[in-house]
Chains A and B, each alone.
Chain A
Amino acid sequence: MLPISDYLFLSFTLLLIGVIGVITRRSLVIKLFSIEMILNAAGINLMAFARFFADAAGETFAAFIILMVVAQVLVALAIIAVVFTRWFNVSTAPAKHPEQGVPAS
């Protein structure tokens, strides 16, 4: 097995990229993908430590994380689609134009 620090570096990089995406981007969908990346990083970390300790608990938690990612993507995409249909905007920035942010009647 590779040294555990390699997996830590990889998961840390994915975590930081996810945090940067959440902070810098305005699109809700890209923010959602960034959060999924953070969860993926947590999964890699859990699996690496599970392998290091030869403990199945980490693998179980990683499986739960994957299930959560799937459920989150499905539900969040549905919510974003509904939000877009109603408000014609999925940006987290305040509306600049009068036609943005007005609920559809």
Chain B
Amino acid sequence: MPHEIIFFILGAGAILFAALTISARTVVYSAICFVLTLFATAGIYLQLHAPLLFAAQLIAIFCVVAALILFAVEVSKLDVALANEYHWRAKAAAIIATVVALLEIAFGVAQRHFLPGERLTVLLPKASFPWPLTVADILKYFLSYDLLPLAMMALATVIATVGIRAVFRRRD
């Protein structure tokens, strides 16, 4: 139970900070949110019993922070240069990201409550994949109960995002 709580806190933090990263108006805020996303990911690695990756991720965070400090002057100039970027882009990114995150959570909750069990983990071979994989095998794994809703939603989100981008470009 504590494992689940820690995972959900870290996962929610990672999603929240990722959404803030792409919706921030200034590069500095975006960079801070990005570093916090990396921290949440590091916690998830630790929760997955991978201390080596946790350490590597911490080193990565320090390197990113060092790079941001190194290029701090340029990054602050970028904010001035990007001041004319339309604010509705950031808003649009935030709205789409929030809708995606909420849909994902709703899918996850619905799948847990209405379709219990793990078909994908049952389908996957425990030892190694049969090689070469046939088209039927690939379809069997990707159209499984776990991946199909994700694939459908990803397709819908990408189509919606491209459509919104096209509408915005026409307005420009």
Contacts and interface: CB of A to CB of B under 8 A. Distances in A.
A102 B97 CA distance: 35
Given A5-B108, A74-B67, A13 B101 contact: yes
Nearest to B4: A2
B77 interface: yes
B162 A23 contact: yes
Contacts, number: 189
A26 to B, nearest CB: 6
A13 B53 contact: no
Contact of B22 (A9, A10, A24, A88): A24
Interface string A57-96: 0010011001101100110011011001100111101000
A14 B60 contact: no
A90 B41 CA distance: 28
Contacts of A53: 126
Contacts of B24: 30
Contacts of B120: 4-5
A63 B59 contact: no
Contacts of A33: 21-22, 30-31, 34
Pick from A12, A36, A62, A84 the residue with the most CB of B within 10 Å: A12
B52 A24 contact: no
Contacts of A37: 18, 21-22, 34, 37
Say whether chain A's binding surface is mostly helix, strand, loop, or mixed: helix
B49 interface: yes
A17 B44 contact: no
A20 B90 CA distance: 11
Interface residues of A, number: 59
B143 interface: no
Interface string B81-109: 11001000110110011001100100110
Interface of A: 1-10, 12-21, 23-27, 29-30, 33-34, 36-37, 40, 43-44, 47-48, 51-53, 59, 62-63, 66-67, 69-70, 73-74, 77-78, 80-81, 84-85, 88-91, 93
Given A40-B38, A43-B41, A53-B126, 17 more contacts: A3-B121, A4-B121, A12-B104, A14-B14, A17-B22, A20-B97, A24-B93, A27-B27, A29-B78, A30-B21, A33-B30, A44-B45, A66-B53, A70-B60, A70-B63, A85-B74, A91-B81
7 contacts: A2-B4, A16-B154, A21-B21, A26-B82, A40-B41, A91-B82, A93-B172
